[in-house]
Every structure is written in structure tokens, then in C-alpha cells.
Chains A and B, each alone.
Chain A
Amino acid sequence: MPRLKKVRQLPLNRWIDLALFLFLLSFPTWQNTYWVYIMSGIMAYMIFALSLDLLWGYTGLMSMGHSVLFGSGGYMIGIASAWANQADWIKFDQLPWFLALLSSPLGAFLAALLLPGLIALFIGLFMFSGKIRGVFFSLITLALAGIAELFVINQSRYTHGDSGITVTSRTLFSNADSQRLTDQQFYFVVLAFLLGSYLLCLWLVNTRTGKVLQGIRENESRLTYLGYKPAAFKLFIFVLSGMMAGLAGMLFVRVQGSINHSSIGINLATLVLVWVAVGGRGNLTGALIGTLLLQFSETKLNSVFSGISADFAQYWKLVLGLLLLLIVFVIPRGLIGVLLDYQQSRQDRDRKAAIMQKEVNRHGANP
């Protein structure tokens, strides 16, 4: 029965993942359009959280400006859509050369993946070859998020400044106004991408490359002595994670129907860190569950609290904030992290007991 044993030893969180995906698959059948729409947005955020988990959870690179990659993907779709529909704020007759790709729907799709990848490549080249790590990496990425937000506000010629862009099409490969899948149909598009991203991450972290990445997190110098080049691996994961974030941004914009500077700024960059931290980093499940829990409770609490009374609307943030503080203080490893620790310690105990038993038996035979 070796196969069954393998299933039994499967980490607890994979079962949670399975349950989560089954839940997501059935969700539209018993929920109304509003919640289907909310959940589509949450799923796009989950892809975003997964991309950060690869970078932060597995490789130990805490990017505090991951929203730059998310937002740049989203803005590509936004600008493409504004151009396709000739939004009235567009004052140019022709797309400039650096945006020429956006004239075709497929081009916009590719641009939404490639631009974040390129940004990550560019930043990564400088930072990793310059051996910038730890808190300095975080600070530089944080500054980037601030800069990116100001940049899109200032470049109002292409981004419509602080007002943001509306994206009325809700299909993957069209920017024309009239093309619109229903919320339910688009839900499954997002779900398919989420599943794909999840499987990609799961596969990647279990390959040799994935192990090297975790090695970088644990002890980068030792890895260097062993002959690896951490910079190359870090660059690879940063670009991949950036493209995933771009994908998430693209899907989010389609779900939401608009993009504005808050999607590229520090606010979202911090939010995603909180989701991953609460869920637990370095196991994929944590990113998924953290995003789901926090986004869901945010929506729910806001509506419940402002339903009670308008004077009371602001206090949901207090409740959520207290909860987050508690989680971070009491279980710094995150919700899923604690579960895994628990399973690990039980397995360790069982193994220890088995060894002890063996010892006792052997000694028992030779008094």
C-alpha cells in the first residue's frame, strides 16, 4: 500500500487547496451575481498573492512594491481599452511607439504579461547584480510603488491621471465596448487562470529550481559556496512572479471594469503582504486562504457595519485591524503555517515513538 501511504503523508494544506478549489467551482451555483463578482475579484487577487508567495515565501525576497507589477499589467489593458473605444480624454491620434502593441487585443494581452516581466527584469538586474538584499530590497521596492503611483497620476496623457480608466469589455481578448461576458462566465475564466497559476507554482516549487530558491531563502552564502549563482535564480523568479502579478492585474481590471492609481500604489502593495502574512507564507495555501479570508471579511464587514448605521461604518476597520494584530503576534507563521507546524510535530512525534519502540524491542530481546 505504498501509494495510499503517500496520500496519507500529503501535507495537510494540499487537502485545503483541494477543498478550496471545489468550493470555488461550485460557488456560482449557489450564489448571486454580486457575490460571484466579488469572488472573481478575490480570485484575481489570489493569483497576485500567489505571485508574491513565490517571491517572498519561497525565495525570501520581501517585495513591498509588488503592486507596481500588478498595476502595470492592469494599466496596459486600461490604455488599450481606452484607445480601442476612443475615450474622450484621449488627445492623441496615434499610439506612441512604446504602446504600439496595444492596438490589437492579443497585443494588449501580451503587453500586460510582458511589461511587468520587463519591469521586474530591469529592476532585478540592478538589484541582484548589485547584491542588494534583505531590508534594502524591501525598501527599494516600496519606493518604487510610491514612484509608480505618482508616475501614473502625472502621465495623465496616457493614464487619465487620478481619475483612472474605465474598461467596459469583459472578455480576455477584446477591448471593444460591446463585448461582455456575464459575471458568471468571466468567473470561470478567472478560476481557470487561478488553477493554472496554482498548478504552475506547485510544480515549480517542487522542482530542483524550487529547492534552490528555498535554499536562497535559508542561506544564500552557503548556496554560493556550493557553486550556484543565486542572482540568476532570483532574477528568474522575480520575472516569473512579475508576469503572474501582471496577469492578476489584467484579470482584476476586467472584473472590476476600471483601473486607477490605487491599484499600482503602496496601499495595495501593503495589503497583499498582509494577506500572505496572515495566511502563512511559503506554502501557497496560505496566500490563497489569507486573501480569501481578508477580502471576504472586508467586504462583508463593510456592508454589515454601514448597514447598522452610517455613524458606525468606520469601526469595521478597527475590528479587522485588531484581528490582524492578534494573528501576527500570536502566530507569526500565519494560519496555514501553524497547521503545518502542528502536522509536522505530530509526524515527528510518531516517528520518534516508532524509533523508541524499536529500541525498546531490541533491548528487550537482550536484557
Chain B
Amino acid sequence: MKTFKQLALTLVALATALSMGACAAGSSSTAAGSTAATAGSTAAASDPASGSASGEQTTAAGSAAADGDSIKIGLVFSLTGATAISEQCMYNSAVLAIDEINAAGGIDGRQIDYIVKDYATDADTAVKVVKDLILQDQVSAIVGLYTSASRVAVEPVLEEYKVPLVYPTFYEGESPNPYVVYTGAVPNQQGDYFIPYLMDNVSKNFYLIGTDTTYAATINEQAKTKLAELGGNLVGEELVSSDTTDFSDVIAKIRNQTGDEGCVIYANLNGDSGTAFYTQFHAAGLADNYTIASFIMDESFSTALGEAAVGTYACVNYFNSIDTTANKTYLENYAARFGEDQAKAVTAVGESTYDAVNLLAQALQKSGSDLSADTILANFDNLTFDAPQGTITVDPETHHIYCKARIGLVQADGSIKVVYETDDVIKPEPTK
């Protein structure tokens, strides 16, 4: 009898948990409706609880959707997981761009319908959700992904089912996949300008430190070549594992090896590791002689770090302090939608996601009624967009973008001031 009792208890427990889930699901629909940021067309058709949210969406979308014809695209971001903080801005920007396009009448009268999937910073999950989008939701294109591992993992799926992906993250470069359009910067659009600038303005001595990833390793290799070419001085190099958060020995080593001369610390550290390094370095009080320079630094990072980030350098194709009309509009709309605080933490990946959606919309428009991958991809060739960062163009050979390189200096209020930018846009060379 005892075991029977246990069995019954389990069943009750199961039922409770399930109903809890259902209740929570019910209450969420109101939340989704009120923030309006979300839901919209994402409302799962299978879930009656979300009916109110989707209802609201149709009214908001206006009459343009009246002809009932819409284009489905998938958005894949880590809404949970280790990189969720970086990807929040990407997700927001994608939604913002889609809503702007829909409000302006959609793509030749067709509304963009989007479906959001969470891949939780896990490459296997990324494959699952991308297959879900392609096979079940039958999307015409996908925008998203942040980590290189997830991009590499989904590439065979894109090839097999012939669906284009617009990948908005700056990354280490690869021989371009025919089904991917890349709207982030590649190393030749960053490091080639960063190293000379730092040598002229800060110090000729460099200490390279990075998380042991393909990304940091590529950047360090590039830095070494550049230093050798320009007569810089490589003091030391350190690759640490991605979960390193104690840098006391590394900092001591840097101090010992450079003496009083000081140097540039070229630090490309991921996530928590980066935070720990900046904080501990700041606490060590070495800022007079040493300057940190990093590709990883951006507005969300500098705001989070506070004082520890002030006076360090960053290098990417976009900072939200850029003074263009397109950028002002973008930030104003972003602030109106997600709040003033969120707008301060708009980063380069967020901006390139915004560009990604807009470029995709242009390509879809050119494709007309033929939404096959080959047509959409071919229509990306030579597209230009007046982006917040300035005008960008898609290179027809590599499907990467022409963009400017910019170097920024973190200010006391956490914003990043542009201290250098190239005169012209730079040709992307992802395999260099």
C-alpha cells in the first residue's frame, strides 16, 4: 500500500506542476499585451491563452495586413543562457526594425510575421530551434545567432533545407557560407586600424591576453602580424580558459614583465572573465602605466563595469555615440519602445541586427513573390542601407558588409566616445 500511496502522491504532484505551468502561461498573455514589445505575431497558434496578445497585434498592425499575405521570418536569440545579456539588445533591435517596417506598410504591402526562438547559448539547441523554424513554421529567412559555435552548427541545416540566415554578430571570419549573410564586422575591419592607433597614441608595447577561443586566437594572431609589421613590441601573450575569473597571477605577471615602462593590454576576454579582469585590474591601481584595449568592450559592458572601464579603448564599427541622423532616430525609437536606460546600452551587435532586418527586408522586396533561398540571397548583392553607423553595402562576393572601423574611448559616464574613424568604408576580408 505504501508504494501505491507514493504513486498517487506523484500523480498529484505532476498534476499540480502542470496546472501551475498552465496558469503561468495564462497570466503571461496580459503581460505580453501590455509591453507590446513581445508577443505580436509570435503568439503560438496552438496556445489559446495567448489569443488576447495576438488580437492586439492585428489591431496594432493596422490595415496593411488586410490582404492576409505576410512573410514569415524566424528570430533566434539567447533569451536565456550565458550570452543573454548581449543578445537582449539584438532581439530588441530586430523587433524594433520589424515593427518599423510593418508600420510603414510592410514589404510591398506584405507584413513581416516573426517567430522568436530561444537557443540558450547552446549550439545543439540552436540546431533544434532552427530546424523547428524551417520545418514547422516554414520561415523564408532567419535572423539571429551570436556565438560562433551556434553559427557553425546550424550551417549544414541551412544548406540542407536551403534557407538563408542573416548573422548579425562581428566575428573571427570564415570562408563565407553561401546561405549566410554576415552584417557584423570581421577582424580586418577592426584590428588593422586598432593596433596602429594604439601604437601612435598609447604605447608600442603590447601584452596580449584572451579567452582560449577561436575568436581571441584569431585576433591575437592578427595582432602579432601587425605588430611585427609596424615594429611594435610583443611583451607577452596569455590565453586563459573561458571560466577564469581570478587574474591576480596574470596581473602580477604583466607587471613583472613590463616593469615601469607600461604597455597596452590587448584583452579579448569573454563575459564573466572580462568583467573579472577589468575589475581586478582596476583594483590593482595600474591605470597610469597600463591601458586596456579590447574588441569586446561595448556600451553594455562599460555601463555594467562603471569606473573600471573608464579610460580603456574599444574598437568596433558602431558606438551609440555616433552622430548621424539615422542613429538619432534609431536610438529615439529604441528608447521610446524599451526605455531610456536600455537605449544607453545599445551596442554594435544590436545595431547590426537592426541593419540585418532592414537589409533582409530590402532583399525580400526585390525578390517579390519568389521567396526561394537562391533568389533572396542573390538579391543581397550590392544592397545598401543608410544604417545608424553610416551607409553600409553588402559585398556580393562574400556577403559581408563594407563598413567603417571606429575606435572608442570609454568616458566617465559609461558612454564610448569615438576618437578615430576611417574616412572610407573598408572592404570585408573574412578569410584574411
Contacts and interface: CB of A to CB of B under 8 A. Distances in A.
Do the two chains belong together in a single complex?
Answer: yes
Contacts of A322: 17, 20
Nearest to A167: B156
B141 interface: no
A177 to B, nearest CB: 9
Given A303-B117, A338-B7, A257 B128 contact: no
B3 interface: yes
Interface residues of B, number: 69
A258 B38 contact: no
B325 interface: no
A315 B42 CA distance: 17
B13 A330 contact: yes
Nearest to B21: A319
Interface in A128-165: 150, 153-154, 156, 160-165
A256 B127 contact: yes
B28 A32 contact: no
A304 interface: yes
Contact of B214 (A162, A311, A315): A162
B33 to A, nearest CB: 9
Contacts of B324: none
Interface string B107-141: 00000000111101011110111011001100000
B392 to A, nearest CB: 25
A311 B24 CA distance: 12
Contact of B44 (A162, A258, A308): A308
Contacts, number: 190
Nearest to A314: B80
A341 B156 contact: no
Interface stretch (B145-153, B251-259, B305-313, B376-384): B145-153
B242 to A, nearest CB: 7
B53 A309 contact: yes
Nearest to A182: B160
B322 interface: no
Interface in A144-199: 150, 153-154, 156, 160-168, 180
A88 B175 contact: yes
B85 interface: no
Contacts of B38: 309-312
A306 B128 CA distance: 14
Contact of B31 (A301, A307, A309, A313): A309
A162 B213 contact: yes
Please report whether the interface of chain B is mostly helix, strand, loop or mixed according to DSSP. helix
Contact of B117 (A163, A306, A312): A306
B32 A309 contact: yes
Interface in A63-106: 88-89
A156 B217 contact: yes
A160 to B, nearest CB: 7
B7 A342 contact: yes
Interface in A318-367: 319, 322-323, 326-327, 330-331, 335, 338-339, 341-342, 345
Contacts of A241: none
Contacts of A59: none
Given A164-B149, A310-B42, A257 B156 contact: yes
A260 interface: yes
Interface string B359-389: 0000000000000000000000000000000
A153 B28 contact: no
A183 to B, nearest CB: 9
B250 interface: no
Interface in A262-301: 262-263, 299, 301
A168 B6 CA distance: 47
A308 B79 contact: no
A302 interface: yes
Interface in B147-193: 148-149, 152-157, 159-160, 174-175
Contact of A37 (B29, B123, B131, B148): B131
B203 interface: no
Contacts of A162: 148-149, 212-214, 242
B28 A164 contact: no
B401 to A, nearest CB: 21
Given A161-B213, A163-B149, A307-B115, 19 more contacts: A37-B135, A160-B152, A162-B149, A162-B212, A163-B148, A164-B153, A166-B153, A180-B160, A256-B127, A260-B149, A262-B124, A302-B118, A302-B129, A308-B29, A312-B32, A313-B80, A326-B17, A331-B7, A345-B1
Please give me the 10 A-B residue pairs with the lowest Cβ-Cβ distance, nearest first. A307-B44, A34-B135, A258-B153, A309-B32, A257-B156, A314-B80, A313-B79, A313-B118, A309-B38, A326-B13
29 contacts: A33-B135, A34-B131, A41-B128, A154-B241, A161-B212, A162-B148, A163-B152, A164-B149, A166-B153, A168-B160, A256-B127, A258-B152, A303-B44, A304-B47, A306-B79, A306-B116, A307-B43, A308-B29, A308-B43, A308-B50, A309-B31, A309-B32, A310-B118, A311-B31, A311-B35, A311-B38, A312-B38, A342-B3, A345-B2
